[in-house]
Amino acid sequence: MNQAVIPKVLVTKIGFDGHDRGSRVVAAGLRDAGMEVIYTPPWQEIATVVKLALEEDVDVIGISSLATDHLIVPKLMDALREAGMSDVAVIVGGIVPDQDEAVLLQAGVARVFHPGSSMAEIAECVHDLTVAGRARRVAV
Amino acid sequence: MNKPIDSSLLSPADAYAQWQQDYAAGIGVDKSVRNRSGVPIQPIYTERDWNAAERGADLGLPGQAPYTRGIYATMHRGKTWSQRQLTGLGTPVEYNARLREVLANGANAISLLPCNSVFRGYDMDESHIELLGTCGTVINTTSHMDQALQGVDLAKISCAQNDPTPFTLLAFMLATARRRGTDWRAISGTSNQSDYLSHYVANHMFFRLALPGARRILTDHIDFCTRLLPKWNPMSVVGQHTQQAGATPAESMAFTLCTAIQNAKDCKARGLDPDQFLPRFTFFFDVSISFFEEIAKFRAARRIWARITREQLGAKDPRSWRFKFHAQTSGVDLTRQQPLNNISRVTVQAMAGILGGLQSLHTDAYDEALSCPSEFGARIAIATQNVLREEAHLTDVIDPLGGSYYVETLTDQMQGEIERVMKVIEDAGGMYAAVEAGLVQAMIGESARKFQHQVESGEQTVVGVNAYAMEEDSSARPINARPDRAGMQSLIDDFKTFKATRSQAPVQQALDALARAAGDVKDNVFARVVEAAEAGCTHGEICHTLRREMGFGHVQAVV
């Protein structure tokens, strides 16, 4: 990883579920990896996530889903596109059945992390997405 | 110590010295072993660690204080345990079909898990349809409850409602019973997970009324049930949430006992008699795969609770001293990789709970780390219980591990660790104050991170994740059933029609009375919730009224 790049990442949950062990562990892990992490409690509205991502100018949004909340991630992707924020990468982590993973990737999600993923793997992905996203922004 | 039968054998002291020597020579570099709660574990335990002659009195016999060996004289040899599977999916009609299958397959008690929109305090017409019924059943009205429980005799089958503050599910059930002419006094079951504190710190699954309001309504609820529903357990104190969120088994038990003390003190402050409400307190725990540690956790907790209820809470009736608990096998231990391995994990977890003396058990489906459980997965989970109960001879002997040098020593050590954490909480002013201050949340987060490090460093093996990984055939993974979208849309349409066509005056009167009760400490909020359910109010209307009056709770983010 290029240590000069410090990704800015928003770790959050949308929908109705409140189980936040995953989002808290990942937020702390990315922080420990030297990244700038913005963490929110669960149940954020999609519009709130878009607004926060815009105001904080994040590189990556990480959505944690334990209980099917990822089913509304395609709505988040639409909202980001409408706000002209397609350069912000979205990753999803948690209990995501195979049948839903394909739908999420189709909707533009960069990657889905399942239980058993290591922090190093997640950090590397966030880093790479940041580098790619910033390169695209410069090109535009 | 007794003399050996064979006089040519070594004396006990020489035998021990010989073993020490042989062990040191054979083991090479001995690894330091600690259980999940941080208790150091020796390679062997003998009467040097636990001596029955000296310590037998701390155990008692089953059904006798301090209940180390079980809370009833007959334990599982008499009545095994309630097989209570958490069930909930889709519309009330879909839930009812699944419920009848679960009952036909041997379950003797039922539970209802509501949709997460219900946990959050919203009605279906203010929720994302994509999420409705995907993780629980949508219940917004008395009619929904009536449909969900069609064919279930409420006077005979024990129903656990996973019912967050303000207990609208129980209110809808009581209204259903009234419609059907069932006597409330015959209704049995539990307000499952009625513990607002564990929800607040660990999974945020209640509808986030601000803490003072949640505290008041719980006490109102216990008061109401104690007077009018003699067979109902209004208080389910939960350790499962905190352990699933990352607390160690000892921490989670300590938080739970401190929560029970907090709630009992709140009830006493209301003027309730401990011997009226304590017999209706139940507990709900996670049981992890750390087999002996879990058994010791439960044995130690029974002993601690028997002391606290007498010494701190002033209970005189032995029924108040008994630590009754339901256990659920730990979903966090299950893996997405090689998912069928989870069947063996659940078996070990369930055995720990059974040998720990549980009263009620939920076994997880093997596919929980992949999706909400499939019907196939749920069926295997039930079969696992049937095998353990009826094939494995686990229930022949009460507390079969009692008197084991290891289990008894570990029970003492777990008791010490639980009491150490309890002191931290009590020194912070008790559980309510410790939660308000964020202390409990910080402890849970720290333990969760520590465990993640242990898995990532390989210190804790997880088969299929950090060891024994292999190429997988994803066809073994079940397809997750989703509620029928058209059925859900028609339920929403019916719901809107119901709201538009019901008699509006009694609804408004009931909501006004509820709002007044929220501001009047002499009134009972839960009694007004029941009246609102009978008047045709919806779950969302009841929750919004209370949130408006008592304040919206926010999550305290502690990372």
Judging contacts by C-beta atoms under 8 Å, the chain A residues touching residue B199 are 18
**CA pair distance B26, B323, nearest whole angstrom:** 43
User: Could you give the dihedral angle defined by the CA atoms of residues A104, A105, A106 and A110, in that order, rounded to the nearest 10 degrees?
Assistant: 120
**CA pair distance B6, A2, nearest whole angstrom:** 72
Residues 17-76 of chain A with CB under 8 A from chain B are 17-21, 24-25, 27-29, 31, 37, 39-43, 67-69, 71-72, 75
Q: Per DSSP, what are the bridge partners of residue B304?
A: none
**CA pair distance B253, B410, nearest whole angstrom:** 15
Substitution target in A30, A65, A68, A70 with the highest count of B β-carbons within 10 Å is A68
**CA pair distance B515, B285, nearest whole angstrom:** 35
Helix (H) or strand (E) holding B362: strand B360-362
Return the top range by mean pLDDT from A66-70, A78-82, B479-483: A78-82
**CA pair distance B528, A106, nearest whole angstrom:** 49
Judging contacts by C-beta atoms under 8 Å, the chain A residues touching residue B543 are none
**CA pair distance B85, A86, nearest whole angstrom:** 44
**CA pair distance B360, B82, nearest whole angstrom:** 4
Q: CB A67 to CB B555 under 8 A? A: no
A78-109 burial string, b = 16+ CB within 10 Å, else e?
ebbeeeebeebbbbbbbbbbbebbeebeeebb
Judging contacts by C-beta atoms under 8 Å, the chain B residues touching residue A95 are 336, 368-371
Token pair for B124: 């279906």
Q: Is B55 touching A (CB cutoff 8 A)?
A: no
Three-class secondary structure assignment of B191-231: EECCCHHHHHHHHCCCCCECHHHHHHHHHHHHHHHHHHCCC
Helix (H) or strand (E) holding B145: helix B142-148
* Closest in B116, B369, B558 to A16, CB measured: B116
pLDDT at B2 over 60: no
Count the neighbouring beta carbons within 10 Å of the beta carbon of residue B129. Answer: 15
- At residue A73, φ and ψ (nearest 5 deg) are -60, -35
* Closest in B205, B370, B448 to A21, CB measured: B448
Predicted pLDDT of residue B86: 64
**CA pair distance A13, A26, nearest whole angstrom:** 12
pLDDT at B465 over 90: no
From A53-62, B243-252, B452-461, the region with the lowest mean pLDDT: B452-461
pLDDT at B91 over 70: yes
**CA pair distance A12, A38, nearest whole angstrom:** 8
The three-class DSSP label of residue B114 is: strand
What is the average pLDDT across B395-424?
97
**CA pair distance B485, B314, nearest whole angstrom:** 54
pLDDT at B182 over 80: yes
Give residue B471's pLDDT band: very low, low, confident or very high (50, 70, 90).
Answer: confident
Task: Give whole-number Cα distances, B362 to A83, B96, B351, B412, in Å.
Answer: 46, 19, 12, 27
**CA pair distance A113, A94, nearest whole angstrom:** 6
What is the average pLDDT across A110-133?
94
Instruction: Give the residue on A whose Cα is nearest the Cα of B371.
Output: A97
**pLDDT higher for B371 or B149?**
B149
Dihedral sign for Cα B394, B395, B396, B400, please. positive
**CA pair distance B198, B236, nearest whole angstrom:** 11
Helix (H) or strand (E) holding A37: strand A36-39
**CA pair distance B545, B532, nearest whole angstrom:** 11
Q: Which region, left, alpha or beta, applies to residue A108 given φ > 0 means left and ψ of -120 to 50 means alpha?
A: left
- Per-residue pLDDT tens for B13-30? 999 999 999 999 999 888
Predicted pLDDT of residue B264: 98
Q: CB A75 to CB B557 under 8 A? A: no
Residue with tokens 């019907």: B375
Residues 70-89 of chain B with CB under 8 A from chain A are none
Judging contacts by C-beta atoms under 8 Å, the chain A residues touching residue B135 are 17, 67-68
Strand arrangement, sheet containing B232-233 = B109-112, B158-162, B189-192, B232-233
**pLDDT higher for B7 or B445?**
B445
From B146-150, B201-205, B217-221, the region with the lowest mean pLDDT: B201-205
ipTM score of complex: 0.83
pLDDT at A36 over 60: yes
**pLDDT higher for B382 or B477?**
B382
Q: CB B130 to CB A18 under 8 A? A: no
Dihedral sign for Cα B122, B128, B131, B137, please. positive
- Per-residue pLDDT tens for B281-316? 999 999 999 999 999 999 999 999 999 999 999 999
Count the neighbouring beta carbons within 10 Å of the beta carbon of residue B473. Answer: 8
Token pair for B29: 């570099």
**pLDDT higher for B2 or A68?**
A68
Predicted pLDDT of residue B135: 83
Judging contacts by C-beta atoms under 8 Å, the chain A residues touching residue B204 are 18-20, 41-43
What is the average pLDDT across B115-139?
91
What is the average pLDDT across B179-184?
97
pLDDT at B538 over 60: yes
**CA pair distance B447, A7, nearest whole angstrom:** 26
Task: List, in order of start, the domains of chain A with CATH numbers.
Answer: 8-139 (3.40.50.280)
What is the average pLDDT across B33-45?
96
Give residue B558's pLDDT band: very low, low, confident or very high (50, 70, 90).
Answer: low
* Closest in B115, B131, B370 to A95, CB measured: B370
pTM above 0.80, yes or no: yes
User: For helices B341-355 and B375-390, what crossing angle results, to 10°?
Assistant: 40
Contact B192, B111 (CB under 8 A): yes
**Contacts of residue B348, Cβ cutoff 8 Å, sequence gap at least 6:** B289, B291
**pLDDT higher for B274 or A4?**
B274
Predicted pLDDT of residue B8: 78
pLDDT at A64 over 60: yes
pLDDT at B267 over 90: yes
Task: Give whole-number Cα distances, B268 to B137, B256, B262, B308, B433, in Å.
Answer: 35, 18, 10, 14, 18
The three-class DSSP label of residue B187 is: coil
Token pair for B311: 């010494």
Based on C-alpha coordinates, what's the Rg of chain B?
Answer: 25
* Closest in A19, A31, A37 to B203, CB measured: A19
Count the residues in chain B. Answer: 559
Q: Per DSSP, what are the bridge partners of residue B326?
A: B284, B360
**Contacts of residue A16, Cβ cutoff 8 Å, sequence gap at least 6:** A43, A67, A69, B115, B116, B117, B119, B120, B122, B127, B131
Contact B260, B281 (CB under 8 A): yes
**CA pair distance A102, A106, nearest whole angstrom:** 6
pLDDT at A91 over 70: yes
Residues 117-156 of chain B with CB under 8 A from chain A are 117, 119-120, 122, 127-128, 130-131, 134-135
Residue with tokens 């090689």: B338
pLDDT at B228 over 70: yes
- At residue B69, φ and ψ (nearest 5 deg) are -95, 10
Is the domain covering B57-457 a CATH 3.40.50.150 domain? Answer: no
Tell me how close the Cα of B76 comes to any Cα of chain A, in angstroms: 34
**pLDDT higher for B189 or B98?**
B189
- At residue B164, φ and ψ (nearest 5 deg) are -70, 160
pLDDT at B100 over 80: yes
Judging contacts by C-beta atoms under 8 Å, the chain B residues touching residue A37 are 559
Give residue B4's pLDDT band: very low, low, confident or very high (50, 70, 90).
Answer: low
Judging contacts by C-beta atoms under 8 Å, the chain A residues touching residue B332 are 21
Count the neighbouring beta carbons within 10 Å of the beta carbon of residue B199. Answer: 23
From B97-106, B278-287, B355-364, B415-424, the region with the lowest mean pLDDT: B97-106
The three-class DSSP label of residue A24 is: helix
Q: Is B449 touching A (CB cutoff 8 A)?
A: yes
**CA pair distance B140, B346, nearest whole angstrom:** 33
Q: Per DSSP, what are the bridge partners of residue B325?
A: B283
Q: Is B203 touching A (CB cutoff 8 A)?
A: yes
Residues 251-280 of chain B with CB under 8 A from chain A are none
- At residue B250, φ and ψ (nearest 5 deg) are -70, -45
Domain segments of chain B: what residues?
A: 57-457, 487-550
Tell me how close the Cα of A40 comes to any Cα of chain B, in angstroms: 7
Predicted pLDDT of residue B204: 65
**CA pair distance B96, B85, nearest whole angstrom:** 14
* Closest in B116, B465, B477 to A17, CB measured: B116
Report chain B's mean pLDDT, rounded to a whole number.
91
- Per-residue pLDDT tens for B59-81? 889 999 999 999 999 999 988 88
Token pair for B422: 């309890």
Token pair for B312: 């701190």
Contact B65, B318 (CB under 8 A): yes
Give residue B368's pLDDT band: very low, low, confident or very high (50, 70, 90).
Answer: confident
The three-class DSSP label of residue B161 is: strand
pLDDT at B164 over 60: yes
- At residue B318, φ and ψ (nearest 5 deg) are -55, -25
Contact A95, B244 (CB under 8 A): no
DSSP secondary structure letters along B283-337: EEEEE-S-HHHHHHHHHHHHHHHHHHHHHTT---SHHHH---EEEEE-STT--SS
- Per-residue pLDDT tens for B191-206? 988 999 998 888 765 5
Tell me how close the Cα of A4 comes to any Cα of chain B, in angstroms: 25
Report chain A's mean pLDDT, rounded to a whole number.
91
Q: Is A117 touching B (CB cutoff 8 A)?
A: no
Q: CB A99 to CB B204 under 8 A? A: no
Q: Which region, left, alpha or beta, applies to residue B110 given φ > 0 means left and ψ of -120 to 50 means alpha?
A: beta
Q: Which region, left, alpha or beta, applies to residue A84 given φ > 0 means left and ψ of -120 to 50 means alpha?
A: left
* Closest in B127, B335, B479 to A115, CB measured: B335
Q: CB B134 to CB A29 under 8 A? A: no
**pLDDT higher for B373 or B95?**
B95
